[in-house]
Each structure stands twice: as C-alpha cells, then as structure tokens.
Amino acid sequence: MTQPKDPSIAYDPWQHLNQFTSARIALGRTGMSLPTRANLDFQLAHALARDAVHIALDFTQLTQRLNQLGYATQILQSQAENEAMYLQRPDLGRLLSLASLADLQAQPPLAVDVVIIIADGLSSKAIEHHAVSFIELLLPSLQTKAFQMSPLCLVKHGRVAIGDAIAEHYNARLCILLIGERPGLSSPDSMGIYFTYQAKTGISTDADRNCISNIHSNGLSYEQALKKLLFLMDGAEKLQLSGVSLKDETTEAVGSNMMLPIF
C-alpha cells in the first residue's frame, strides 16, 4: 500500500479507502494530533455548516428568481419569529403564524391537485443553491399531467410539518415540500424533499411522509430526485397513501459520494 508522502504523518492502513467516501476516515496522525491540513479542513467544514444554519435565506431574491421564470409565489411565515426561536422551539416551526393563516383565508377558495412548498429549514444554502433548479425540472413534469397547482409557497423558518396546514387549506391531494436539511460536515447545502398524500393538520405524521434526502452536488442529482418523486406520486395516486406503506422502488444508482440521510 502507498505510504503517506509526509514522513511526519503516521501511516493509516485505511488510507486507500478515502477515494470511496467523503467521510472523515484515515486522516493520519502526527504525534497524538491530527495533521494540520486535516484539522484546517475540519474547521472549514464546520464553519460552512454553521453558516448554512445561521445565514438567513434571501426570500426576496428567491421570489424574484421564481417570478422571472413565470411562477406565481406567496411568502408565508411560521410561528417561529426569529432564528433563535426557530432553533429552540421546533414545534413553532411546524405551525403557520396567525398573519399567514389570515392571508391564506383571505384568498378565494381554491381546490388544487398539488401544493409545492419551499422552506428554508436548517440550511439556507441548500435552498439558495438547489430549489430553483429543481423547480425548473419539476413543474413542467407536473404540467404534463394537467395538475392544478397553487402558487409556490415560500415559508420562513418552516419545518416539515408546516406543509400540512398549507395543503389542507388548498384541499390538495399531493403536498411536496422542499427544505434545507441539517448540514453535515461534508454537505452544508443538502436539500430534502418531503412528499405527503392528503396531508391534514394534526393527523399527518412523519410515518405518513416519504423523504428524498441528500440532494446536492456530491449526492443525489436533480434528475434522480425527480425520478424518485414522480414514482412516489404515481404510487400514491394508485394506493391513495404515502409514507411507510409506499416504497421507493426506483433502481438508478446514485453517486459514490452519496451520504446517508441526515435527520
């Protein structure tokens, strides 16, 4: 096996496995410490993960990008009024604010097939980097199915379950929620998609949802994620359910750097 180039770094027999994973293995050792490069790489990854959580998503820019593509949008807010509250009170991130509920109720009654929600979640970078590109693939696919859709709902400080109230308001059969996942040290901008059939407030649980995780440059591609989502949507329409009873049976291989889901 190849020995490390720097003689001051102790050889690790797992070093050849680095090519197969982005996990931090076989980093080497100098005395009782990590090599300087490995230590600096870790500090950078940790800083990027913290930034993904703490830097606010620019909803104005996101709205403009989607409007320029011809998509109607509306901005909503959870009951978590600020970042600190969002991080400390996950329950408030699952509920729409009274002002947002009033905004929805003030709209004329509208029954749709699909509601699409984009929430900042725990990674603003995930939504900034991936949401618009994925929407550009998703919406034409839904339009070919002649689905009626609500405006795209952009939710500040939202968690997954906040989609239930929005889907219930629109009486939507299908709820698709894009959200920034909790950052990992090798994926600070990972986006997740949560799909729920006939979501209802207070009734739908995590067991009723399907999750497509790790959508980022070194994980699941937009095309692979779309294939999985369309498969789940077709299955949900046939079985009239989603969640643990609806299995993703797509077989396309994912990239070698694919990480396990982060919850």
- The predicted structure's pLDDT at residue 232: 96
Four-residue CA torsion sign, 187, 142, 66, 115: negative
- For residue 172, count other CB atoms closer than 10 A to its CB: 26
The per-residue pLDDT for 5 is 64
The backbone torsions φ and ψ at residue 215, rounded to the nearest 5 degrees and listed phi first, read -90, 105
Q: Residue 260 pLDDT more than 50?
A: no
- Return the exposure string of 53-72: e unless at least 16 CB atoms fall within 10 Å of the residue's CB, then b: beeebebeebbebbeeeebe
Q: What percent of the chain has pLDDT over 70?
A: 91
CB of 48 closer than 8 Å to CB of 183: yes
- Nearest-angstrom CA–CA distance, 47 and 51: 6
Q: How confident is the model at residue 100 (pLDDT cuts 50, 70, 90)?
A: very high
Report the distance separating Cα 160 and Cα 121, nearest Å.
Answer: 8
Overall average pLDDT of the 57-72 stretch: 95
Mean pLDDT of 40-60: 88
- pLDDT band with cut points at 50, 70 and 90 for residue 252: low
Residue 167's pLDDT is what? 95
What's the sign of the alpha-carbon dihedral 118, 120, 122, 124? positive
Q: Is 96 helix (H, G, I), strand (E, B) or coil?
A: strand
User: What pLDDT, on a 0 to 100 scale, did the predictor assign at position 255?
Assistant: 46
DSSP code for 149: B
Both tokens of residue 261?
A: 């889901």
What pLDDT does 261 receive? 41
SS3 of 117, please? strand
Instruction: Say what the pLDDT of residue 259 is.
Output: 39
Architecture of domain 54-239 in this structure: 3-Layer(aba) Sandwich (3.40)
Q: What percent of the chain has pLDDT over 90?
A: 64
- Which tens digit of pLDDT belongs to each residue from 106-135? 988 788 999 999 999 999 999 999 999 999
For the chain, the structural domain boundaries read 54-239
Most confident of 2-16, 97-111, 116-130: 116-130
The DSSP symbol for 82 reads S
Q: Is the pLDDT of residue 78 over 70?
A: yes
Q: 233-246 burial, b if ≥16 CB within 10 A, otherwise e?
A: bebbeeeeebbeeb
Average pLDDT over residues 237-242: 95
Structure tokens at 8: 């001051």
At residue 142, does pLDDT exceed 90?
yes
Q: What is the pLDDT of residue 38?
A: 82
Please, what sign has the CA dihedral across residues 222, 67, 211, 51? positive
Q: Is the pLDDT of residue 154 over 80?
A: yes
| Predicted pLDDT at 42 | 82
pLDDT digits 0-9 by tens, 164-201: 999 999 999 999 999 999 988 778 999 999 999 999 99
Q: What's the per-residue H, E or C state across 195-257?
A: EEECCCCCCCCHHHEEEEEEECCCCECHHHHHHHHHHHHHHHHHHCCCCCCCCCCCCCCCCCC
pLDDT band for position 256 (cuts 50, 70, 90): very low
